[in-house]
Amino acid sequence: MRLWGRVLVFATVIWCTVLASCLILYAHKSNDSYRGTGERTRRATEQNEVAEKTDIFFLKTHKCASSTIQNILMRFGYRRHLDFVLPLKDNYLGHPAQFNRNMIPRELTSFNQTYNIFTHHSRYNYEEVKAVMNENATFVTMLRNPASLFESMYQYYRLEVTTNMTLQKFIKNPDKWFYLAVRSPARKIGTNQMSFDLGLNVAEFVDGKRNDSVDDFIRKIETEFDLVMITEYMEASLVLLSKLMNWPLEHVASFKVNSRQLVRKVQLTLSERDSLMYMNFIDARVYKHFLKKFQSRIADFGVELMKEEVRKLLDLNSKLWSSCVDKPNFKGYGRTLSYDLRNPQDFGCFYSAKDELSFTEEIRNDQVKRFSTLRKLDSLMDDYVDER
Ligand SMILES: *[C@@H]1O[C@H](CO)[C@@H](O)[C@H](O)[C@H]1NC(C)=O
Ligand SMILES: *[C@@H]1O[C@H](CO)[C@@H](O)[C@H](O)[C@H]1NC(C)=O
Ligand SMILES: *[C@@H]1O[C@H](CO)[C@@H](O)[C@H](O)[C@H]1NC(C)=O
Ligand SMILES: *[C@@H]1O[C@H](CO)[C@@H](O)[C@H](O)[C@H]1NC(C)=O
């Protein structure tokens, strides 16, 4: 009887230990995963054999759906507590001034003054960006059809107030185009916006005098960037990004953030779109060049394989959406699209739905705290002399 009792106690202890281990293991695993699907975990494990890259510069072009990419990079970096290049407030580092390292405030300066992720608005300046990124950081940006971009920008920044003309009327008055070549409002926004964001002094080009150097500019961008994504092919762009970074596709799943409710889309005729390409002639050349390059990357990747990957990504996106979103609302920052969430305690859901400004604020607060704690420790040891 006593022997059986002991065996029973022993068996119970073993059973409980095994059960507890399983629970701990399971909790650990689901903690690690975005949505805890078996498929995801298995694939992530396979992918992890090649270390995922953590260092990336993303030149965030205006009105190119860049917020989607930025949200992906913020989620990636925040989850791992990586160091971001951030401004002291809001979401701009310079612009219209070109980026330089002194724009990073002291509170947000890392110890060795290099960073993992740079994904906030700025105006490109290769040398200065290179100087603040960790070695071998990946450089990426995103371009959009210049006619679509201009239409969207004109509405978003209310340029009809600047020009005192509707978009259609502005298109018909080429003698007024220079208004926007010199940029407005605040000298940030105007024609050839993508080239401006990429650091080109576009005003020098508008009279066609420096036409030949647009090619030099294109070559420069081509040499300095590892990937130029195309807004019209967002999913394929994200597939290429995930491969470049050795990330599983799950890392680039997303849903739309930062889109405005009130902006109405103007339907333009083909000839109006042609005029916009002509008005934004530098951007048009840059876009055409990188679109071609993008096509050749997909050809190299394999069109069928790309379709398969895009299908997987779309599937991940809709799973993310259906597991996260209860219903959309427009209660976001500045009445942008935002969401009532089913499970706001899930990291992937919560931060996929978070708008740029409040997500930035959270990362910034976290980083200020982290850096100041480390600095405090550093200064504690400043006057320490080892007398043992
Ligand atoms: C700076 O420090 C980080 C870790 O804090 C490290 O990953 C990075 O390589 C360092 N960069 C340089 C240039 O020393
Ligand atoms: C950067 O790349 C070079 C060349 O591939 C390599 O030799 C070097 O070790 C890399 N540095 C880091 C920090 O990964
Ligand atoms: C704007 O245009 C209208 C007519 O097109 C004109 O009457 C008005 O004076 C203009 N306003 C400015 C500030 O140029
Ligand atoms: C500028 O370059 C484009 C493309 O190479 C060419 O079609 C156009 O004629 C050039 N314009 C001038 C003013 O040289």
145, 137, 293, 141: which is closest to 228 by C-alpha?
A: 141
> Mean pLDDT throughout 107-128?
96
Amino acid type, 74: M
Kindly tell me if the per-residue pLDDT of 351 is higher than 80. Answer: yes
Task: Answer yes or no: is pLDDT of 353 > 50.
Answer: yes
> Are 89 and 363 in contact, with CB atoms under 8 Å apart?
no
pLDDT above 70: percentage of residues in the chain: 81
Indicate the pairing of strand 121-123 with strand 117-118.
unpaired
Over the stretch 200-243, which tens digit does the pLDDT of each residue have?
Answer: 988 777 665 666 688 999 999 999 999 999 999 999 999 999 99
In the predicted model, is pLDDT for residue 52 greater than 60? yes
Structure confidence at residue 2 (pLDDT): 61
Atom nearest to 285 CA in ligand 4: 4
Where is 140: in which H helix or E strand? strand 138-143
CA distances to 98, 124, 187, 283 from 94, rounded to whole Å, are: 6, 10, 12, 21
Nearest to 149 by CA among 28, 72, 64, 85: 64
Ligand 2 atom nearest 136 alpha carbon? 1
pLDDT tens digits for 157-211? 889 988 999 999 999 999 888 878 777 666 889 999 999 999 998 877 766 566 6
The confidence score (pLDDT) of residue 359 equals: 94
Please, what is the average pLDDT of the chain?
Answer: 86
Tell me how far the alpha carbon of residue 95 lies from the centroid of ligand 3, in angstroms.
Answer: 30
**Residue extents of the structural domains in the chain:** 54-143+213-259+283-375
**Separation of alpha carbons 228 and 221, rounded Å:** 9
Instruction: Report whether residue 208 contacts ligand 4, using a CB cutoff of 6 Å.
Output: yes
pLDDT at position 62, please?
A: 93
Of 78 and 213, more confident: 78
163 alpha carbon to ligand 3 midpoint, in Å? 9
Question: What was the pLDDT predicted at 259?
Answer: 61
Residue 211 CB less than 6 A away from ligand 4: yes
Q: Hey, which of 130, 133, 136, 245 would you mutate to test ligand 2's pocket, going by the most ligand atoms within 8 Å of its Cβ? A: 136
Per-residue pLDDT of 241-269, as tens digits, reads 999 999 999 999 998 765 655 556 788 99
333 CA from centroid of ligand 1 (Å): 34
Cβ–ligand 4 distance for 212 under 6 Å, the answer no
- Find the 211 Cα to ligand 4 centroid distance in Å: 6
